[in-house]
C-alpha cells in the first residue's frame, strides 16, 4: 500500500526545501521497503519523492498516512481559519 509523509513543523529549519503543509510520496528504499533503512546511529530513514528528486531523512521527523487514491479529495495544504 502506498504511503505519504509530511514534515513535522518542528523540523522545518532542518529541511528548508520541504514544506510541512505538503504531503510527499514515500519512495521505496528497496522494493517493498519504505522505512527500514537505518543509518550508523541506528535511526530509521525514509526516502521522499519531491519535485527536485529524492530526499532521505529521519523517519521520526515525519508524519505518515496511507496514500489516497483520489488526490482531488483533499488538497495538500491545510485551510487557515
Which one is predicted more confidently, 16 or 78? 16
Element (H, E) at 1: none
Residue 43 has a pLDDT of: 85
* Phi, psi dihedrals of residue 42, rounded to the nearest 5°: 80, 15
In tens, the pLDDT along 47-64 reads: 899 999 999 899 999 999
Asked if pLDDT for residue 4 goes beyond 90, the answer is yes
Mean pLDDT of 1-20: 92
- Residue 44: band (very low, low, confident or very high) from pLDDT cuts 50, 70, 90: confident
Say what the pTM is.
0.71
Asked if pLDDT for residue 35 goes beyond 70, the answer is no
Calculate the alpha carbon distances from 74 to 1, 35, 36, 40, 43 in Å.
18, 24, 28, 37, 31
Amino acid at each position: 500500500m502506498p504511503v505519504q509523509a509530511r514534515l513535522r513543523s518542528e523540523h522545518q529549519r532542518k529541511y528548508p526545501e520541504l514544506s510541512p503543509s505538503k504531503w510527499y510520496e514515500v519512495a521505496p528504499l528497496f522494493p517493498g521497503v519504505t522505512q527500514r533503512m537505518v543509518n550508523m546511529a541506528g535511526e530509521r530513514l525514509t526516502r521522499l519523492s519531491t519535485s527536485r528528486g529524492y530526499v532521505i531523512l529521519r523517519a521520526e521527523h515525519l508524519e505518515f498516512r496511507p496514500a489516497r487514491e483520489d488526490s482531488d479529495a483533499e488538497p495538500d495544504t491545510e485551510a487557515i481559519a
